[in-house]
Chains A and B, each alone.
Chain A
């Protein structure tokens, strides 16, 4: 079967380790092949399950203190050596702090993006994906009044390929947000809007979606709100919808 050769590349593709051109061609194939697409989703879920299951053991506070003491410079030793070790320890801690902050931010950011992808998939799989069913933005927007602690604008879609299907309430980090669903050439695209400050602890302003997300995503901050546009439509479609939102919110 032709798919077998594609499937041998799926793990490397999901690890984001294929050369750029091959990434694109696997990406194109996965979007057009039902079997590989289902396989990809299952592999992504497996990766996420391992990621969560692998974070299993936590060091105790006493142990942390013990190690800190064991690597702290000892008193009454040759002053030069003490300074040298202290400088090395400080350097390690600074570099480790930077590395860890980067890793934590990346991981937390990555997790937010994964959760957004989960919300998108779970909603589309639901029998009632939207709570307010309307193609009219003047119906959908007022529906959120009194439900959300913020207001946002929906773009005018005339002369575009997009159509609004409706909206629903959603939650991320225990804070409410708006989830809008659009249609473009039979692809469903989700637009999520949250307050920036509710995600500030986990998402850096410059955070970018991970390469292995398996959906196209655009995200930006504007007027104190954080927007996510995600779907299996082409990157160009995602960008076009993002631009419409940016234009209407500026």
Chain B
């Protein structure tokens, strides 16, 4: 079952729990099969599958809890595209280790976490992300920008505390 690994990874990031991620993926496949008639040939299959998974998550107990505490579609007007990151921080990013970043991603509000994963991990285009999240492309851009900015801000104090001392040597990524 291709797309299975990617959907599971995404589900686990959303739910932060293995059992819930498994239930979510299983329900997604069952729904996809049942609702296959609603899939329009020629449209993006991947975005369709991710949209089912995400909508299923939003109506799950964990999803509802998340949306009650954090608005999943906060008001966005695209005015926050200007992202500035000071130079010392960008140099620190170069040394960022994977574990530190995973922790920071995990702590992000779900609407920031999911858009970063779709863009950076799944390498979806803005159009695909817009289809998956059912939002306009302008919202994708501004939300992505805010997500990156928030991630940077949250990483800064951790890096300043010297968390990067656990840098793994010898990778190609300068981690």
To the question of whether A and B form a pair in one complex, the answer is yes
* A residues whose Cβ falls under 8 Å from a Cβ of B: 4, 7-8, 10-12, 15, 17, 35, 38-39, 42-43, 45-59, 63-64, 66-68, 70-71, 85, 88-89, 91-93, 95-97, 99-101, 103, 106-107, 110, 115, 118-119, 122
Looking at the complex, which of B3-11, B60-68, B69-77 is the stretch in contact with chain A?
A: B3-11
Return chain B residues, CB-CB under 8 Å to A35.
87
A-B contact pairs, 16 of them (CB 8 A): A4-B84, A12-B81, A12-B141, A15-B119, A38-B90, A39-B87, A42-B93, A49-B98, A49-B175, A56-B9, A59-B22, A70-B30, A88-B36, A97-B2, A103-B6, A118-B172
Report B1-44 residues with CB < 8 Å from chain A CB.
1-6, 8-9, 12-13, 18, 21-22, 25-26, 29-30, 32-33, 36
- Contact A91/B36 with A50-B105, A101-B2 known, Cβ cut-off 8 Å: yes
- List the 5 closest A-B pairs by CB distance, nearest first: A100-B2, A54-B121, A42-B90, A57-B12, A59-B8
Chain B minimum-CB-distance residue to A45: B94
Cβ–Cβ < 8 Å partners of B126 in chain A? 15, 17
Query: Roughly how many angstroms separate A160 CA and B30 CA in the complex, as a whole number?
Result: 62
Closest to B22 in A: A63
The reply to whether A70 and B26 contact each other, CB–CB distance below 8 Å, is yes
| Complex CA–CA separation, A32 to B89 (angstroms) | 22
A43-B90, A67-B1, A85-B33 known; A59 and B121 CB under 8 Å? no
Q: Across the interface, do A71 and B33 meet the contact criterion of CB distance under 8 Å? A: yes
Residue on B nearest A42 in the bound complex, by CB = B90
User: Min CB distance, A93 to chain B, in Å?
Assistant: 7
Contact of B94 among A4, A42, A96 (CB under 8 A): A42
Nearest A residue to B2, CB-CB: A100
1/0 contact trace for B110-133 toward A, CB 8 Å?
A: 000000110111010110000000
A49 to B171, CA, bound (A): 11
Q: Which A residue's beta carbon lies closest to that of B175?
A: A49
